[in-house]
Amino acid sequence: MNPALNSDLNSAINAGMAPVATPWFFYVLAGLAVVGGLLVITRRNAVHSALALIVTLLAVAGLYLMLYAPFVAGVQIIVYAGGIMVLFLFVIMLVNIERSSKDRQFNRMWPVGLAAACALLALFVTAFVKGKALFPDRMMALAEGSNTQQIAGMLYGEAGRMGEYTFAFEIASLLLLVAILGAVIMTKKKI
Amino acid sequence: MPNFIMSYLGIKDAITPGAAGSQFWALIYVFIIFTGVSVAVMAMNWLERKALAHFQIRLGPMRVGPHGLLQPIADAIKLMLKEDIIPAEADQLVFWVAPLIGLLAAFAVYTVIPFGPSQAVSDMNIGILFMLGVSSLGVLGIVVAGWASNSHYPLIGALRSSAQMVSYEVAMGLAVVSAILMTSMKTGTGTLSMIGIVQAQQEQRIWFIFKFFPLGLIAFVIFAIAMVAETNRAPFDMAEAESELTAGYHTEYSGLRWSLFMLAEYAAMIAVSSIAVALWLGGWMRPFPNLLHAPAWDFIFSLFPALTFFGLAAIAIVGVVRMPSHSFFKIQRIGLAVFAALLGFIAVLLLVIAVAGRSADSSVAARFREGIDYVYWFVLKVAVFMYLFIWYRATWPRYRFDQLMKIGWKVMLPISLGVLIVTAIVGALVS
């Protein structure tokens, strides 16, 4: 952790700057995310589900903002809410909603889904119960003003040395490139 | 006046209400911007009809008010009184929500538009990212509207528009990245904040459109093309091509809901134009701040807002004089004269502020003068883009959809990638 940032935050707190991110915002955003998530799995109409998923994603972006991670929030909005969900809708719109909403569920995977959901819930409950030991007892001292620069430093390195995550980042980009090539080759017969 | 308010009128040490954590002033700014944008959209509506008509050697609206000046108000009243039809087979809820999504996305962007160093609702660390992200949500409104209408033309329009916007977003984003790279040239750390990007141009003493000539220019041109496609305007208005799709995604919409789509479209046009202005055209800076930097030049340039309004008043007076002297035109003549007097009054007011605030001290008048200058130059640059939108529409025929996709993926994307790489190399070599 950068000590300079730590002292920055401390001085800001001592100066009496009240954080705008109050618990009220957290409850509203978390509620929106949960309600949106429930709607995603309960709506029979796939377009309604997709719209509810967008609400959830935007609420989660708001939660990232509250965690002093504006860059992640911005990327969440661009990539998920703006990009992926538009493509989702694009595909869903071509499906015959009338028929598919009356169809019986033919997929027998619900026990697996239930198990996965239970495992995730168990993880969350453990984290909540043991939270004191797992996490620091006070807020991470990340100044929101330099969040983007810090991420850049970690990914690309700063002051002439390689970043902590440069290798992983480049590998991930290679993976995405392979996926793009795969998509092009699969859809295009003649290149 | 209390110090608190003074700090918002000021420039030197002033900060945006968002940075000061003042919800009250943020709300006031939001209110001012919302009103300003709505008025600008109405003015744009009139100007577009008028300019298009003149391009085609017609008169355009002439009946409602002098030279059709009250036409937007008449249109607004008509749209509000019109029957609001929801097709029986439409998805009621989604049909209802769709225009609101577009409107919200278009207006949310205005929180970070830098009209001046402190004339913005908030200065986010991720400003440009926020603008691109939220404005890309606008496509959801169009897609969902087309689907919810449960009709063929809207659906095809929505499909076209989503494909188009997703494709051009890529080239647009890459052009933006090359501008962001330029912000890091002198200081070593770049910034995504809209105000920071303009300040970087101020520090490097160059508008990014001229930086690393012609790299900045190419990136700017790519953005300027992509933003027309992104707002679904001619010649890229495939989503609402009336010769093929009636009205595209809003075929089934009428009345107030339809007008919300129009409002969102024009608000989005202003928003993307402001991105272009802030990233490449120096934002709130006046022209030639390096070459003509003497205080006398400062004073001369600060007269421009007043001169603009004097010019508008003069045009209105010419209109009054040239009005046919028939008793039928009496009311119109009086109305236009009052309008001219109003414009003249604003001009005199601006002149007084410019003269009173000509010294560079921190008196209230000087601060007012600086604030007006900043907003004036920013709005003027955006206005040029708005006129360009009309000009494009009058000049160019619509592309075919496959041509559009070809340009997006095979021309714009490679060029913008190339510009990005070359900018990075040149930047690394220079610094």
Q: Is the pLDDT of residue A85 over 60?
A: yes
The 10 Å Cβ neighbour count of residue A96 is 8
List residues of chain A with CB under 8 Å from any CB of chain B: 17-18, 20, 45, 47-48, 51, 54, 70-71, 73-75, 77-78, 81-83, 85-87, 89-90, 93, 144-149
Alpha helices in chain A (DSSP H): 3-14, 23-42, 46-66, 70-75, 85-93, 97-102, 110-129, 131-134, 147-156, 166-187
Say whether A93 and B140 touch across the interface (CB within 8 A): no
Q: For residue B214, is the peptide bond before it cis, meaning its omega torsion is within 30 degrees of 0?
A: yes
Contact A145, B16 (CB under 8 A): no
Two structure tokens written together for B385: 């883009």
| Chain A touched by B194 (CB under 8 Å) | no
**Is residue A191 very low, low, confident or very high in pLDDT (cuts 50, 70, 90)?**
low
Two structure tokens written together for A59: 């609420």
Say whether A51 and B94 touch across the interface (CB within 8 A): yes
Contact B111, B48 (CB under 8 A): no
CA A102 to CA A80: how far, in whole Å?
29
The DSSP-derived string for B90-117 is S-HHHHHHHHHHHHHHHHHGGGG--SSS
**Is residue B1 very low, low, confident or very high in pLDDT (cuts 50, 70, 90)?**
very low
Contact B223, B273 (CB under 8 A): no
Say whether A147 and B134 touch across the interface (CB within 8 A): no
CA B241 to CA B393: how far, in whole Å?
12
Q: Is the pLDDT of residue B165 over 90?
A: no
Spell out the residues 6+ positions from residue B92 whose beta carbon is closer than 8 angstroms to its own. Answer: B86
pLDDT (mean) for B248-257: 81
Domain spans of chain A? 143-191
| Chain A touched by B100 (CB under 8 Å) | no
Maximum alpha-carbon separation in chain B: 73
**Considering chain B, what is the average pLDDT of its residues?**
84
Q: Is the pLDDT of residue A121 over 90?
A: yes
Q: In terms of C-beta distances under 8 Å and separation of at least 24 residues, what long-range contacts does B158-161 make, across chains too? A: B158/A93, B158/B239, B158/B248, B158/B249, B159/A90, B159/A93, B160/B238, B160/B239, B160/B248, B160/B401, B161/B232, B161/B238, B161/B239, B161/B248, B161/B249
Closest CA to A70 of A170, A154, A150, A4: A150
* DSSP character at residue B66: G
CA B355 to CA B268: how far, in whole Å?
36
- Tens of pLDDT, residue by residue over B340-399, are 999 999 999 888 888 887 776 667 777 778 888 888 999 999 999 999 999 998 898 888
Closest CA to B241 of B171, B161, B337, B349: B161
Q: For residue B66, is the peptide bond before it cis, meaning its omega torsion is within 30 degrees of 0?
A: no
Two structure tokens written together for B350: 């601006």
- Tens of pLDDT, residue by residue over A14-61, are 444 445 557 888 899 999 999 999 998 888 788 888 889 999 999 999
Spell out the residues 6+ positions from residue B116 whose beta carbon is closer than 8 angstroms to its own. Answer: B11, B284, B370, B371, B374, B375, B378
Domain spans of chain B? 15-285+357-430
